[in-house]
Amino acid sequence: METQWLVMTTPPLPLFRRTSAKSGLSSSSSPNSNNNLPLARRQIIRQWKRDGSILGVGRNNFVDFDSLLQTLASKTMPQPHVVHHLLLQVVSRFMDAYGKMGHFHKVHEILDQVTLHRVNLSPEVYPVAISCFGKHGRLYLMENTLKEMVSRGLPVDSATGNAFLRYYSIFGSLSEMEIAYARLKRSRHLIEEEGIRAMSSAYIKEGKFYRLGEFLNDLGLGRRNLGNLLWNLLLLSYAANFKMKTMQRLFLKMMDSGFRPDLTTFNIRALAFSRMSMFWDLHLSLEHMKHESVVPDLVTYGCVVDAYLDRRLARNLDFALNHMNADDSPLVLTDPLVFEALGKGDFHSSSEAFLQFKRQKKKWTYRQLIAVYLKKQFRRNQIFWNY
């Protein structure tokens, strides 16, 4: 049968390998049930032997899913909390394996079997199935499973609602994503950081920065548990369209609301100033960073270098670098969503490629990277003029 073939040909499922009582079944995540697991394992194996459900020869003994489910569903099994954890773990692994192979009808069959034999497991198994369908982009199966879950009277918790929204953000259209967001909002569950990032990324990829701003204002900018994420994304929505005055007003409003700018906040502004060759604002931003004790990263240095080189002011670059600690080791600590909207500067991209190519253990500094980059630019100009 197909379930037997699955267990015998997928290495990530060691739960059914019966080499010994200690290694036959994976341990539960619950610390209170760890002491009871060996007894539960031995009883399950004895039950399989009586039923003739053990398959294979020698040390490679396996059990198909149907036999496992029937055994664990038996009322004669002791320690129901141990069996509950074991069954949930097994079901999750089977669904994950079938999902990777694209056998989504088998995932639904497992869901039907579990809800038939172990009704008390349904509230935990339905979210596993929804996640399995969602992460593989099967949105219609995810939607149908959610409807079936609600029709059975099972509540949709915050984690399931946020996962639902996240998968629509990744695989669905913007309109479908917004419908999922409205549904989550009506359920009075709070949208978590992963959902906010997924929706923001979807808006950014489509270039819908105005709708991104509307979404962030609808969420409310006062959520302090997210740090500066909402403010930074709103600043990014204006910076991507180079609405400099609006971005500056929003930055002041952010500080008036009690939020202190972080590295991502400063780099969003620095990227916009650099692209617009606004040197005075760029220098003021660097001074503000120093006042707030925010250490610049490779993105910040890239903004300065690109701004000066674009205007052929490489000789004046030391004026800016003298106010920065260019002897630090290069790091990139800026939120990746910034690069989705504004991209990476030339110095940033070149430095990352250079550091990946140079695999020796030498510790590079910003000053050394800038020297290498300037040398490369000088040679490129020489080659151009020679032709």
3-state secondary structure string across 342-387: HCCCHHHHHHHHHHHHCCCCCCCCHHHHHHHHHHHHHHHHHHHHHC
Query: Does residue 282 share a domain with residue 137?
Result: no
Question: Is the pLDDT at 15 greater than 50, yes or no?
Answer: no
Are 136 and 200 found together in one domain? no
17 shares a domain with 145: yes
Domain boundary at 134, 154, 174, which?
154
Q: Phi and psi for 223 in degrees, rounded to 5?
A: -75, 105
200 compared with 67, residue with greater pLDDT: 200
CB 381 within 8 A of CB 309: no
Let me know whether 299 and 371 are in one domain: yes
Predicted pLDDT of residue 57: 39
Shared domain check, 311 and 247? no
The verdict on 80 and 177 lying in the same domain is: no
| Token pair for 198 | 């997924």
Domain match, 248 and 269 both? no
pTM above 0.85, yes or no: no
If phi over 0 gives left and psi between -120 and 50 gives alpha, with beta otherwise, what is residue 102? left
Pick from 87, 102, 90, 97: which is nearest to 5 by CA?
97
- What the block records as the tokens of 59 is 């040390």
Lowest-pLDDT range of 10-19, 39-48, 81-90, 300-309? 10-19
Read off the pLDDT of each residue in 343-366 and give the average, rounded to a whole number.
86
Claim to verify: residue 212 and residue 289 sit in the same structural domain = no
Percent of the chain with pLDDT over 70: 76
Between vectors from CA 270 to CA 268 and to CA 275, what angle results, nearest 5°? 100
Mean pLDDT of the chain: 81
Which of 219, 252, 285 delimits the end of a domain? Answer: 252
Residue that finishes a domain, picked among 231, 252, 273: 252
Question: How many domains does one find in the chain?
Answer: 3
pLDDT tens-place string over residues 42-62: 565 555 555 544 444 344 444
Residues 181 and 246 in one domain: yes
Q: Are residues 161 and 147 in the same domain?
A: no
Q: Mean pLDDT throughout 321-328?
A: 87
The pLDDT, as a whole number, for residue 360 is 66
| Same domain? 27 vs 124 | yes
Q: Give me the percent of the chain exceeding a pLDDT of 90.
A: 55
Q: Are residues 21 and 68 in the same domain?
A: yes
Instruction: Report residue 11's pLDDT band, with 50, 70 and 90 as the boundaries.
Output: very low
CB-based contact 370:330 (threshold 8 Å): no
Domain of 387, in residue numbers: 261-387
